Amino acid sequence: MDWNNRIAVVTGAGGTLCSEIAAFLAGKGVKVVLIGRTAAKLEKTAEAIAKVGGVCRIEPGDVTDEPRMREIAEKVSSEWGLCHILVNGAGGNNINAMSTLTQFDARELDNSLEEGERGFLGLDMAAFESVLKINTLGTVIPSRIFGAQMARDGGGSILNFASMNTYRPLTRVAAYAMSKAAILNFTQWLANYFAPANIRVNAVAPGFFVNERSVKYLRTPDGGLSQRGKNVMQHTPLQRFGEAKELLGCVEWLLDDDKAAFVTGITVPVDGGFLASTGV
């Protein structure tokens, strides 16, 4: 399709994966709206876009803040035009919503775990709820607001972010796994709902791409593999972590109104074979 001067909104645009996607789209002539909570991270993405001669604008905001998202949408539509592409990349986890234990321990019942140990029964429910909110409502709210613009414009494409947790709940991350499982279901639901408006809705499910958050759990301070990192490698036939640029082919295809014209409601794993391997 002709990408020139299309309007794309990328949430989580300061992150490892979505900063790469934003720069890639800008390099194809798309005008990109960068949304994220941290302006400094968005500025780094904007610098990368400037290097490829792209056009972007920084719009800091929390994707669960519906009034702020509506404010951004109205500003962009009045100054640039209606959104045609939405990448729902914002999301995350919270260490207080993660257990350190991988299985139930009877010491949880009388609060006798060692300092620093945390089981499911002792998780911070406010943190748990925050993970559910950012990963679910943080996709729902932008989809409502920018999806309405696409419907007015006669069509568009929404790309959600699932995870390996969408298919298999990894240990320790109950809230994150629960929320990412919801993304696949919501992607299918929204694809059905928006079909009459000529809006396609799909998702990617990245495997293990090391970013600022996951590096703490997958690698050791000296750059080696942590035990969790070794466990991941045992289930990854390609025997390495993914690089952000390796997500771009799948993203480009799903967003292309010509090449993926008959594709909607699917979630595509980009995982180095992780889901295909039992590790045995």
Phi and psi angles of residue 116, each rounded to the nearest 5 degrees, phi first: 95, -15
Mean pLDDT calculated for residue range 217-235: 88
Model confidence band, residue 217 (pLDDT cutoffs 50, 70, 90) = confident
Does residue 204 surpass a pLDDT of 80?
A: yes
Is pLDDT at 102 greater than 90 in this prediction? Answer: yes
Consecutive H or E run containing 33: strand 31-36
SS3 225: strand
Please provide the average confidence, as pLDDT, over all residues in the chain: 96
Compute the distance between CA of residue 45 and CA of residue 25 in angstroms, rounded to an integer. Answer: 12
Please give the structure tokens belonging to residue 231.
Answer: 């466990």
The tens digit of pLDDT for each residue in 254-273 reads 999 999 999 999 999 999 99
pLDDT the model gives residue 215:
79
Choosing from 167, 176, 193, 217, the catalytic residue is 176
What share of the chain has pLDDT > 70, as a percent? 100
Single-letter code of the amino acid located at 191: A
What pLDDT sits at residue 85? 98
Band (222; pLDDT cuts 50, 70, 90): confident
Q: Report CA torsion sign: 65, 268, 31, 1.
A: negative
Section 215-227 average pLDDT: 85
**pTM score of the predicted model:** 0.95
DSSP for residue 98: S
Helices 16-27 and 248-255, interaxial angle, to 10°?
60
Q: Are 170 and 228 in contact (CB under 8 A)?
A: no
Could you report the per-residue pLDDT of 49-85, keeping only the tens digit for each?
A: 999 999 999 999 999 999 999 999 999 999 999 999 9
217 is catalytic: no
pLDDT band with cut points at 50, 70 and 90 for residue 223: confident
pLDDT over threshold 80, residue 213:
no
- What are the pLDDT digits (tens) for 116-166? 999 999 999 999 999 999 999 999 999 999 999 999 999 999 999 999 999
How confident is the model over 33-46, as pLDDT tens digits?
Answer: 999 999 999 999 99
Domains of the chain: 7-95+124-216+245-270 (3.40.50.720)
Q: For residue 191, what pLDDT is reported?
A: 98
